[in-house]
C-alpha cells in the first residue's frame, strides 16, 4: 500500500467516525428532548392534580387560622389600646358634629386642651353614657368664670377658632360666652385626681360646670380622641 492509499484510507476512517459521532449526538439530542417532554408532561400532570376534600379542608383551616389571629389582635387592641365612639349631640360643635365617628386611645394621661371620652355610666352621674368633652383644667389648677370668660390659673383662655388650616392658633372655640352654671362658687380649684371638662359649644354643653357631670375622676376619662374617620371627607388626625 502506497502513501496515497494510506491517506485515503485514513480519510475514510475519519469520515466514518464523524458520521458515527453525528448519529450519537443526534440520538442524544432526541433522547434529551424526549426526557424534557416527559418532565413537562409529569409537571403538567402534577399541576392538574385533582382538588380533593382533604385539600379543601386544609384551605379552610388555613383561612380560619388567619382569621382567628386577626380577630385576636383586633380585640386585644380594642381592649387595651384603641376603641371607637360616635358623637351624639352638638355640645362639641363646631369641632365635632353629631354622628361623626372617632377613634380614641386608651393609653392616656389627661392634659389641658385634650378632647376626651368620659364614661358616666357609673358612679354619681345620671348615666349620660359616654360623653366627649375638652379638658380645660387638671388637678390642682384653678378655674374661674367671670362675665362669660374662662380663666385657668388666672389666665384668660383664648376662646377663638383654634384651627387655621393645620396650624394650632388658640386653645378653644366657643360660639357663645360661657355661662358659669350654679354648681360651683368661682374661682374653684380642681381636686387632685380630677379634671374639669367643657364642651366647645358652651351654651348647651352639660359638663363640669353642672351637677350632672361636675369634677370628673381621671379614671372615668377612658381615652383621648386621636382620629375622626367618618364622614371620610372630614377625616382628621388630632394633633394637640
Tens digits of residue pLDDT in 83-117: 889 999 988 888 899 999 999 998 888 888 899 99
C-alpha cell recorded at residue 86? 360616635
Which pLDDT score, from 0 to 100, does residue 7 have? 43
Return the higher-pLDDT residue of 208 and 81.
Answer: 208
- Model confidence pLDDT, tens digit, residues 19-32: 555 544 455 444 55
**φ and ψ of 39, to 5 deg:** -65, -45
Position 48 pLDDT exceeds 70: no
pLDDT of amino acid 217: 93
Average pLDDT over residues 62-74: 78
Picking from 133, 93, 129, the residue whose alpha carbon sits closest to that of residue 215 is 133
pLDDT band at 71 (very low <50, low <70, confident <90, very high): confident
State pLDDT tens for residues 140-181.
999 998 888 889 999 988 665 444 444 444 445 555 567 676
- Chain mean pLDDT for the chain: 76
Q: Catalytic residue positions?
A: 91, 133
Give the neighbor-by-neighbor strand order of the sheet with 155-156: 155-156, 149-152, 142-146, 188-189
Provide the residue ranges of all domains of the chain, joining segments of one domain with +: 1-49, 54-80, 84-237
What's the confidence (pLDDT) of residue 36? 58
Q: What is the pTM of this model?
A: 0.64
Is residue 229 pLDDT above 50, yes or no?
Answer: yes
- Could you tell me the pLDDT band of residue 43, with boundaries at 50, 70 and 90? low
**Which residues pair with residue 227 across a beta bridge?**
103, 237
C-alpha to C-alpha distance for 54 and 190, rounded to whole angstroms:
67
Which position has the higher pLDDT, 43 or 204? 204
pLDDT at 159: 62
Give me 28's grid cell.
442524544
CATH 2.60.40.10 fits 84-237, yes or no: no
Amino acid at each position: 500500500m502506497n502513501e496515497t492509499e494510506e491517506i485515503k484510507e485514513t480519510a475514510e476512517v475519519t469520515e466514518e467516525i464523524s458520521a458515527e459521532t453525528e448519529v450519537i449526538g443526534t440520538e442524544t439530542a432526541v433522547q434529551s428532548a424526549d426526557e424534557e417532554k416527559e418532565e413537562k408532561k409529569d409537571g403538567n400532570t402534577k399541576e392538574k392534580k385533582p382538588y380533593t376534600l382533604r385539600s379543601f379542608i386544609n384551605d379552610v383551616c388555613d383561612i380560619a387560622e388567619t382569621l382567628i389571629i386577626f380577630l385576636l389582635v383586633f380585640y386585644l387592641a380594642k381592649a387595651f389600646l384603641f376603641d371607637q365612639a360616635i358623637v351624639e349631640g352638638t355640645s362639641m360643635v363646631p369641632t365635632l358634629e353629631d354622628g361623626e365617628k372617632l377613634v380614641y386611645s386608651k393609653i392616656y394621661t389627661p392634659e389641658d386642651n385634650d378632647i376626651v371620652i368620659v364614661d358616666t355610666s357609673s358612679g354619681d352621674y345620671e348615666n349620660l353614657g359616654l360623653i366627649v368633652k375638652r379638658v380645660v383644667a387638671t388637678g390642682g389648677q384653678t378655674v374661674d368664670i367671670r362675665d362669660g370668660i374662662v380663666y385657668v390659673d388666672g389666665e384668660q383662655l383664648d376662646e377663638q377658632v383654634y384651627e387655621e388650616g393645620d396650624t394650632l392658633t388658640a386653645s378653644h372655640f366657643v360660639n357663645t360666652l360661657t355661662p358659669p352654671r350654679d354648681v360651683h362658687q368661682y374661682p374653684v380649684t380642681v381636686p387632685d385626681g380630677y379634671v374639669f371638662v367643657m364642651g366647645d359649644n358652651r351654651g348647651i354643653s352639660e359638663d363640669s360646670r353642672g351637677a350632672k357631670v361636675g369634677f370628673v375622676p381621671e379614671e372615668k376619662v377612658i381615652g383621648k380622641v386621636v382620629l375622626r374617620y367618618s364622614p371620610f371627607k372630614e377625616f382628621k388626625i388630632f394633633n394637640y
